[in-house]
Amino acid sequence: MKNSIKVQRAINNLTQAELASKIGVSRQTINAMEKGKYIPSTLLALKLSKLFKIPVESIFQLEENE
């Protein structure tokens, strides 16, 4: 699953640690999501969507083989 978390963090001027704190996860979780090593729960995806004020589909995109 591709995502634009790193881009959205940059747009919102947030570090991984700051984003993690705002949505209640560890910095390592943010890092793993950005690298595509961790697929977030629906709740976590919705928290990101609300924080960035964009649809979930704008943050996460399924790849063809998924």
Is residue 25, in this structure, part of any structural domain at all? Answer: yes
Q: What is the reported pLDDT for 63? A: 85
CATH number at residue 41: 1.10.260.40
How distant, in Å, are the alpha carbons of 1, 15, 47, 66 from that of 7?
15, 11, 16, 22
Give pLDDT, residue 52.
98
Q: What is the mean pLDDT of the chain?
A: 96
pTM for the model stands at 0.91
Report pLDDT for 42. 97
Answer whether residue 22 is part of any domain.
yes
Q: What's the total number of domains in the chain?
A: 1
Q: Is position 7 within any domain?
A: yes
Mean pLDDT of 24-50: 97
| Residues of the domain holding 20 | 2-61
Per-residue pLDDT averaged across 24-51, rounded?
Answer: 97
Asked if residue 38 has pLDDT above 90, the reply is: yes
Reduce the secondary structure of the chain to three states and give it as a string: CEECHHHHHHHCCCCHHHHHHHHCCCHHHHHHHHCCCCCCCHHHHHHHHHHHCCCHHHHEECCCCC
pLDDT of residue 10: 97
Instruction: Judge whether 66 lies within some domain.
Output: no
CB 1 within 8 Å of CB 60 = yes
